[in-house]
């Protein structure tokens, strides 16, 4: 009998197939004591396992490329953390086996992260995955991971580590469903990059029996268990119609009555550029430069290394717009040379622009590198600061850009509610705004973006969040300046229409989402988008806002 479940849709598309479960997590190793003379041998075993896991993560990253590569390289660094390994050695020295020493050391570090306001929940999930891989290697048992199967299937898991998501084979994994996670988690972002339909934060997902046939709608978040023949036909027909519309859609982003909405790509480095170009991106709306810095958390990359990375991206979009976010370090992206190690709540501490203003040499080097990278190129370079709170922040950043001789537009990200509330004041110092809806939602609702239990508050359809978007867009219009969205909200085609109706002037997203957004915008007039935006803001919940906007755009 067909039943319907609902989670959070995070990657467009439809998948229909049998359930296969993720490999089980490593069991806790026994706490047995070893003789003192075996300690050195066990320490060697632990180091070998750590190095092997780190090498495997790097190899997976090299195969995956793009943003996934940066995420996996960060995990490899986590596995090799010197303080963590020193703790492992200490535990083995007093009698633990290698596997128990690793397990307990990681548990201790995990507790430290969990006590840091839980902003690092996503890092905790990554840490657990690294621990499980090391312990599995030491115990000689299969790695936890994607099941072996010759037939296509829908993958079910409590959560998915980036190492697993990055190498999903779309030919076998039709889609995936997780019980944990949120719309802005690493796995959700990577799923969109892969083009694999995905639903997260589905209560009871792991209770779905192996072999059960389910239909997954990655757009709505609906899961149909044992779907009827009629339901399967309906979903397959809708998927085919959507595919046809995507193939027929090309060119710049525009509404059906000719209102231009540039569609830009979010990238983490040169590896993400080919997919963006293939999707028809009109430029880059968010170049996340922190991935370049995360290659070595001990020191900033040289000016020469930065110039090469930036130029590779700038050259890919001649005459196009490339918006670069300067280093956004802190919170879940700590850097030893830049961010404090003892903050009680890093999410509310010295993060983003605050870190850079405390280390003006790092900011100056990055701005100089961007200036050199753009020399002689016809690209329209724009540079923005993360975590701007007020006009003083905006002025400090604009002054730093001018002092570095940067020939570009200077902008501010709106990720803190104060920036949206005082957007017009900020725009007297900078030339554009860019809304990071992931963090803006997190700070608006006091809801960690990595915690599945509060995912409803991370829903970008929340009317309060739409109000802040509208405030920012209205301020930009009044000042005759632009206001884009570069958060994951822009990747939802229906919401893209609402954002356009709110007055947003450009949309930036993962490359895989661009065709969906382009095709949907082309079906509706600007007036329809404005009416949908008004209907969504008049609602009292995210679901009501979505339904209201859908009603307007479908003519109901």
Active site members: 186, 486
- The two tokens of residue 342 are 């003892």
Per the DSSP assignment, residues forming a β-bridge with 526 are none
* Two structure tokens written together for 12: 């467009």
* CA end-to-end distance (rounded Å), the chain: 30
- Give the pairing of strands 222-225 and 213-217: antiparallel
In contact, 529 and 498? CB cutoff 8 Å = yes
Angstrom distance (rounded) from CA 533 to CA 502: 6
Q: How many helices and strands in the chain, by DSSP H and E?
A: 22, 16
Contact 348, 354 (CB under 8 A): no
User: What is the enclosing helix (H) or strand (E) of 31?
Assistant: none
| Burial of 525 from C-beta contacts in 10 A (0-12 / 13-18 / 19+) | middle
Please give the distance of CA 282 from its chain centroid, rounded to a whole number: 21
Look at the alpha carbons of 524, 527, 530, 534 in this order and tell me if their dihedral is positive or negative.
negative
State the residue for tokens 């995210």. Answer: 542
Bridge partners of residue 325, in order along the sequence: 288, 384
CB 8 within 8 A of CB 201: yes
Please name which of 505, 474, 507, 492 lies closest in space to residue 545, comparing C-alpha atoms: 492
**Do residues 165 and 68 make contact, with C-beta atoms less than 8 angstroms apart?**
yes
Token pair of 15, please? 């998948």
What span, in angstroms and rounded, lies between the C-alpha atoms of 176 and 20? Answer: 9
């Amino acid at each position: 009998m067909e039943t319907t479940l609902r989670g959070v849709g995070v990657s467009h598309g439809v998948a229909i197939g049998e359930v296969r479960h993720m490999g089980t997590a490593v069991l806790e190793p026994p706490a047995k004591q070893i003789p003192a003379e075996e300690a050195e041998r066990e320490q060697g075993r632990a180091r070998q396992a750590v190095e092997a896991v780190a090498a495997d993560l790097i190899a997976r990253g090299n195969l995956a490329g793009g943003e996934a590569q940066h995420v996996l390289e960060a995990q490899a660094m986590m596995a090799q953390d010197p303080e963590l390994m020193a703790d492992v050695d200490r535990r083995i020295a007093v009698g633990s086996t290698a596997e128990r020493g690793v397990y307990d050391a990681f548990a201790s570090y995990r507790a430290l992260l969990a006590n840091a306001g839980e902003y690092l929940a996503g890092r905790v999930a990554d840490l657990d995955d690294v621990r499980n891989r090391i312990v599995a290697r030491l115990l000689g048992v299969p790695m936890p991971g994607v099941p072996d199967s010759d037939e296509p299937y829908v993958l079910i898991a409590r959560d998915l580590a980036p190492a697993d998501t990055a190498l999903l084979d779309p030919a076998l994994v039709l889609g995936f469903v997780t019980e944990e996670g949120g719309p802005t988690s690493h796995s959700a972002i990577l799923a969109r990059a892969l083009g694999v339909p995905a639903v997260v934060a589905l209560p009871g997902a792991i209770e779905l029996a192996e072999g059960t046939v389910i239909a997954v709608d990655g757009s709505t978040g609906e899961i149909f268990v044992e779907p009827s023949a009629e339901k399967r036909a309906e979903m397959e027909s809708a998927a085919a119609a959507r595919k046809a519309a995507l193939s027929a859609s090309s060119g710049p982003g525009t509404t059906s009555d000719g209102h231009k909405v540039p569609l830009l790509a979010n990238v983490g480095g040169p590896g993400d550029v080919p997919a963006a170009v293939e999707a028809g991106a009109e430029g880059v709306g968010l170049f996340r430069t922190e991935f370049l810095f995360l290659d070595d958390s001990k020191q900033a990359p040289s000016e020469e290394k930065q110039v090469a990375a930036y130029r590779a991206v700038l050259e890919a979009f001649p005459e196009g717009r490339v918006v670069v976010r300067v280093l956004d370090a802190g919170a879940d992206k700590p850097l030893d040379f830049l961010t404090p190690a003892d903050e009680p709540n890093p999410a509310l501490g010295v993060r983003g622009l605050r870190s850079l203003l405390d280390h003006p040499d790092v900011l100056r080097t990055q701005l100089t590198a961007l200036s050199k990278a753009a020399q002689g190129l016809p690209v329209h370079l724009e540079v923005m600061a993360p975590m701007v709170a007020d006009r003083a922040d905006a002025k400090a950043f604009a002054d730093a850009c001018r002092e570095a001789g940067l020939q570009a537009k200077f902008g501010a990200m709106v990720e803190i509610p104060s920036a949206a509330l005082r957007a017009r004041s900020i725009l007297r110092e900078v030339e554009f705004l860019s809304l990071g809806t992931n963090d803006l939602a997190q700070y608006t609702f006091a809801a960690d973006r990595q915690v599945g239990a509060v995912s409803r508050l991370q829903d970008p359809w929340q009317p309060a969040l739409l109000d802040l978007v509208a405030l920012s867009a209205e301020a930009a219009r009044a000042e005759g300046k632009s206001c884009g969205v570069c958060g994951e909200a822009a990747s939802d085609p229906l919401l893209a229409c609402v954002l356009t109706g709110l007055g947003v002037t450009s949309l930036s997203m993962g490359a895989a989402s661009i065709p969906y957004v382009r095709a949907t915008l082309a079906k509706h007039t600007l007036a329809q988008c404005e009416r949908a935006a008004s209907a969504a803001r008049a609602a009292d919940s995210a679901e009501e806002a979505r339904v209201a906007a859908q009603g307007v755009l479908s003519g109901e």
